[in-house]
Amino acid sequence: MEVQAIRMKEGDDKNIILASREIVKEAILDLYCSNFPERLNIADMGCSTGPNAMLAISEVMNVIDQKRRELGIGPVQFQCFLNDLPWNDFNTIFTALPEFHEKRLNKDPKGSSCFVEGMPGSFYGRLFPDKSIDFVVSSSSLHWLSQIKCDFIPDIHVLKSRSKEIVTGGRMVLTIIGRKVDDPTEEDNCFQWDCMANALMDLVSERFLEEEMIDSYNILFYPSSLTEVMNVIRGDGTFTVDRLEIIEVEGPPTVGTDGVRKGDQWAMNLRAVLEPIFIDHFGRETMDALFSRAAYHFNEFFSIRNPKFTCFVVSLVRNDRKSSDF
């Protein structure tokens, strides 16, 4: 098994996808070149919405198209499943699809065809029929837990479900936000939640919110250690690790080229992820005030610290072991 460390200068969710590009490329080429299939079913788990939603899937298709052209092989039919939770904004993705298809067609009128489908549901449960999927990618999503548990470990059900759905020899590349140290309370892992907690407490002092609302709220986010990730893979037993890399991602620069302060940028990025989750509990009317207080706390924090994030990119192959029922 190969373990390498890559260091990156700046990072956000998009940069994490780009950093894992080589590993995805290697995995998809291994799969494609094993028998040059004319049809491939690929899925992105936790695709989100907006410009990144089609990025991972597009990369996969582009890699295969480039290879098949080099080899003089005809087009592939891709069936692409975009998965996220049911309340994800799938409509925004769907409305961007005509433009996406048009661009692909303009680039190569005789190119591979691509059929895109939304697959709402939790990736901890079943999403697809037995042995129907060839390739799965997932980026920056598996640190969201399915439920509050006493034992905070990555949830094995994500592998158990995929082990039924992915064909033998099929591949899966997971990019997981994790932690380098065993201590889950280490500052680099917790600063965002400390800043969010401070912002929430500001709203309590300003009488926007009741303190009980904060005490009764749990965020289902858990960055795993490498040992925990490996234990889950071994515990499931139906996937073999082909490659594993540890990526260190730095946050945005103190002031971006566009003049936006790092804390403001951070609060804005985090808002995109957290707002849909927070609205139910804290109310839509609280969001502007909450994230403007959060930006203040992030700016304070970044003026004294420059935290780094750790990601694990794990490339897995579905082996021929029978999956256990659960």
Nearer to ligand SAM, 141 or 189 (CB): 141
By beta-carbon proximity to ligand SAM, the closer residue of 113 and 146 is: 146
How far apart are CB 158 and ligand SAM at their closest, in Å?
8
- Minimum Å gap between C-beta 161 and ligand SAM is 10
Report in angstroms how near the CB of residue 22 gets to ligand SAM at its nearest.
16
Measured from the CB atom, is 36 or 87 closer to ligand SAM?
87
Q: Which two tokens stand for residue 208?
A: 């926007």
- Angstrom distance (rounded) from CA 79 to CA 101: 13
Cβ-based nearer residue to ligand SAM, 165 or 202: 165
* Measured distance CA(302)–CA(233) in Å, rounded: 35
3-state secondary structure of 39: strand
Specify the residue, 13 or 65, whose C-beta has the smaller distance to ligand SAM: 13
Cβ-closest residue to ligand SAM?
Answer: 46
| Phi, psi (deg, nearest 5) at residue 21 | -55, -45
Distances (CA, A) of 68 to 32, 56, 65: 9, 19, 5
CA distance 301 to 267: 12
Of 84 and 228, which has the nearer Cβ to ligand SAM?
A: 84
The span from the CA of 138 to the CA of 220, in Å, is 18
Instruction: Report CA 191 to chain centroid distance, whole Å.
Output: 20
Q: How far is the CB of 51 from ligand SAM (least distance, A)?
A: 9
Residues that bind ligand SAM (CB under 6 A): 13, 17, 46-48, 52, 83-85, 88, 122-124, 139-141, 144, 146, 273
CB of 11 to ligand SAM, least distance (A): 11
Least distance (Å) from ligand SAM to the CB of residue 13? 4
DSSP single-letter state for residue 226: H
How far apart (Å, rounded) are the C-alpha atoms in residues 74 and 72? 7
3-class DSSP assignment, residue 224: strand
